[in-house]
Structures are given as C-alpha cells and as structure tokens.
Amino acid sequence: MKLKDISPSELKMLRVIWENEPLKSGYLVKICLEKFGWKKSTVYTILKNLCEKGYTVNGGGNIAAMMDEKDYYHKIAADTVDEYFSSSLGDFIAAYLDGCHMSRDEILECYEKVKRYRE
C-alpha cells in the first residue's frame, strides 16, 4: 500500500506524536504552541487530517500513531525507489551519490549497514 501524501505541517505533528505517544489532545496543543506557535484550531485541523489519512488515531482521550517512525521512513524510501527508480536500489544510490561528496567514515558506515543487512 502506498502511503498518502502528507504536508510538512502534518509531518511535524506526526513527529511530535511519535516522540510523546500516547498523549492527550490538550498536551498536543501545548507542545505545538510551544514548538511551532500553532493555535488550538490549527492543531485540531492537522490532527483531523492525519486521522482521516490513517496516520493517527484519536480515541479514548489518547492520540497515537498508526505506524512507528522507523516503519514510516522505510515505507517512504521503498515507495521512492519503486516509483522513481523502477525498484532499483542501485540506481537510487547512484543518483543520490552523483555529485555528492562522502567522507571515508560515511562510506564505511554505509558499507557496514549493507553488510549487516546481508547477514
């Protein structure tokens, strides 16, 4: 299943939810006011959108995400590789690295991650 697009504001809120879940709506309003300067009505509108898109649930007085942050980013990456690079991770990596400078440590870190994945 392809993820539904979310706006930058929705992603900001989703990150707040991941960091604090489960949380009460009043606490979410407080955090969003402090971090982003959002009014209560803005918070509830964005939360409603996230619920309608299936990213969050707001029930029993608690707000929670429907998938964890790691799964979300994995799905975004997989969808990008599938959609734009014909499911070729190699083509994606080549496109990303084209014109990009990586330090020796960054290259070794990537190598170690691939190596662990293969094992």
3-state SS assignment for residue 64: strand
Tokens coding 70: 């790691």
Residue spans per domain, the chain: 8-68, 70-118
In our burial notation (b when 16+ CB lie closer than 10 A, e otherwise), range 58-92 reads: beeeebebebeeeebeeeeeeeebeeebeeeeeeb
Helix (DSSP H) and strand (DSSP E) numbers for the chain: 6, 2
Report the chain's mean pLDDT, rounded to a whole number: 90
* Report field, pTM of the whole predicted structure over 0.85: no
Q: What is the pLDDT of residue 15?
A: 97
**Cβ atoms 20, 14 nearer than 8 A:** no
Q: What is the pLDDT of residue 93?
A: 85
- Give the pLDDT mean for 102-115: 88
Residue 110 has pLDDT above 60, yes or no: yes
Question: Looking at domain 8-68, which CATH architecture does it have?
Answer: Orthogonal Bundle (1.10)
Element (H, E) at 58: strand 56-59
pLDDT tens digits, one per residue of 8-64: 999 999 999 999 999 999 999 999 999 999 999 999 999 999 999 999 999 888 999
